[in-house]
């Protein structure tokens, strides 16, 4: 089968590799219909190895480079191993690709993203940028009828947004500000709308993304270059936002995000800055603001909720899809486009087995 494998920094190859079957006990083989390219894939390509194990196998997966990338995918079950009571060939699924030890302090508390041995398919084990993938059945969530594999492959990034909203304890009617109008920020916008937020403001320097945020339900979309975001939000709200979600990952956005939050409010950091930043902790202590980190997702909480939202058409996935490409084009039309044209690119989907006829839930409406 064809697969995109990470060999080394700046060395991802689309090559023929053995198929993954037969499945072992508790496993299924999935024919991958759609797999999203994540910013993490680009970081591994240009700056890795960051998560990909090199030289020593990952303790949970037993694998090391070269590895098949791809941790945002969906497809059809084609073969089922022993001790898999709830899945059968022909079922369409999307997997939560996190792998945990199940035994550490954090796993016992169901705080799975904090697992001491956390791993993921597509980074520490073979993932979905291939025609077929071997997946633990326990990680698979069945797709609601009518949900396309293309839209279902956004369940992983949506689950990141769902967790950020959950960690921020967004309540009915609260005012929320989201810094960053990329894929995660726009999914956070839709997640907070579904959580019952009142006014929702998006802070984003790119005009096209601000326009899309308005179409997706933002009360207003603010250009931080036109006026400092914290001042604009204070003018709009009177006291600042109840909850601010920092989804840009820009170190320079953290201080304005904190300043834009009302006294006693919550700031959720879901973007991952690659540069160091400084904070005035007095402004946090004196105003009793909370700073909350949010990492990844939990399969039976955030990931299951994401699939449900997509299946009911309550999140507009299509609006975030910039292109659908064949596996052979992953370098030029995928990774290189994300790198060179980030401003006008959101989610690129790879179709390892060719074009899949689009379907959508009955409730879906065009943006």
193 with 274, same domain: the answer is yes
* Per-residue model confidence (pLDDT) at position 358: 47
40 with 182, same domain: the answer is no
Q: What is the CATH number of the domain that holds 253?
A: 3.40.50.720
CA-to-CA distance for 294 and 137, rounded, in angstroms? 26
* Overall domain count for the chain: 2
Contact at 8 Å (CB) between 95 and 61? no
53 with 97, same domain: the answer is yes
* Per-residue model confidence (pLDDT) at position 361: 38
Q: Residue 367 falls within a domain, yes or no? A: no
Q: Residue 59 falls within a domain, yes or no? A: yes
6 with 136, same domain: the answer is yes
39 with 113, same domain: the answer is yes
**74-107 burial string, b = 16+ CB within 10 Å, else e?**
bbbbebbbeebeebeeebbbbbbbbbbeeebebb
* Per-residue model confidence (pLDDT) at position 357: 44
Domain that holds residue 259: 169-293
Contact at 8 Å (CB) between 306 and 283? no
Q: Residue 360 pLDDT more than 50? A: no
- Per-residue pLDDT of 74-99, as tens digits, reads 999 999 999 999 999 999 999 999 99
9 with 147, same domain: the answer is yes
Strand pairing class (67-68; 98-99): unpaired
181 with 143, same domain: the answer is no
- Which bin fits 196, alpha (ψ -120 to 50), beta or left (φ > 0)? left
Q: Residue 252 falls within a domain, yes or no? A: yes
CA-to-CA distance for 27 and 49, rounded, in angstroms? 28
* Per-residue model confidence (pLDDT) at position 9: 97
Q: Residue 248's closest CA among 205, 311, 198, 199?
A: 205
Q: What is the CATH number of the domain that holds 141?
A: 3.90.180.10
237 with 328, same domain: the answer is no
263 with 345, same domain: the answer is no
* Per-residue model confidence (pLDDT) at position 268: 98
Q: Residue 82 falls within a domain, yes or no? A: yes
**Domain stops at, among 243, 260, 293:** 293
Q: Residue 182 falls within a domain, yes or no? A: yes
Output the CA torsion sign for 303, 322, 168, 276: positive
Write the DSSP string, 255-292: HHHHHTEEEEEEEEE-S--SS-----HHHHHTTT-EEE
Neighbour count for residue 217 (Cβ, 10 Å): 17
* Per-residue model confidence (pLDDT) at position 365: 37
Residue with tokens 């995109």: 4
Identify which has the larger pLDDT, 367 or 64.
64
- Per-residue pLDDT of 143-157, as tens digits, reads 998 999 999 999 999
263 with 336, same domain: the answer is no
Q: Residue 364 falls within a domain, yes or no? A: no
Neighbour count for residue 290 (Cβ, 10 Å): 14
223 with 307, same domain: the answer is no
């Amino acid at each position: 089968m064809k697969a995109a494998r990470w060999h080394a920094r700046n060395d991802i190859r689309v090559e023929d590799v053995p198929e993954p079957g037969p499945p072992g006990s508790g496993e299924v083989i999935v024919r991958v219909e759609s797999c999203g390219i994540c910013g993490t894939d680009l970081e591994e390509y240009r700056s890795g190895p960051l998560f990909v194990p090199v030289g020593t196998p990952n303790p949970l997966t037993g694998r090391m480079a070269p590895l098949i990338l791809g941790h945002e995918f969906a497809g059809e079950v084609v073969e089922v191993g022993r001790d898999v009571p709830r899945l059968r060939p022909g079922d369409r699924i999307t997997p939560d690709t996190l792998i945990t030890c199940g035994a550490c302090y954090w796993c016992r508390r169901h705080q799975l993203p904090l697992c001491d041995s956390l791993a993921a398919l597509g980074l520490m084990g073979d993932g979905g940028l291939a025609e077929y993938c071997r997946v633990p059945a326990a990680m698979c969530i069945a797709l609601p009828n009518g949900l396309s594999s293309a839209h279902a492959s956004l369940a992983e990034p949506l689950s990141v947004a769902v967790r950020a909203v959950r960690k921020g304890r967004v309540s009915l009617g609260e005012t929320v500000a989201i810094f960053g109008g990329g894929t995660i920020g726009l999914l956070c916008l839709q997640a907070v709308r579904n959580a019952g937020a009142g006014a929702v403001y998006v802070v984003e320097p790119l005009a096209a993304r601000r326009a899309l945020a308005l179409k997706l339900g933002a009360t207003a979309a603010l250009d931080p270059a036109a006026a400092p975001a914290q001042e604009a939000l204070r003018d709009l709200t009177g006291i600042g936002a109840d909850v601010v979600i920092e989804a840009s990952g820009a170190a320079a956005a953290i201080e304005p995000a904190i300043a834009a939050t009302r006294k006693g409010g919550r700031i959720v950091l879901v973007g991952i800055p690659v540069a160091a930043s400084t904070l005035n902790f007095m402004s946090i202590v004196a105003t009793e603001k909370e700073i909350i980190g949010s990492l990844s997702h939990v399969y039976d909480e955030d990931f299951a909720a994401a699939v449900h939202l997509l299946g009911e058409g309550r999140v507009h996935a299509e609006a975030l899809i910039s292109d659908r490409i064949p596996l052979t084009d992953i370098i030029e039309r995928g990774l290189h486009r994300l790198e060179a044209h980030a401003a006008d690119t959101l989610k690129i989907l790879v179709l390892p087995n060719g074009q899949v006829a689009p379907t959508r839930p009955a409730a879906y409406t065009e943006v």
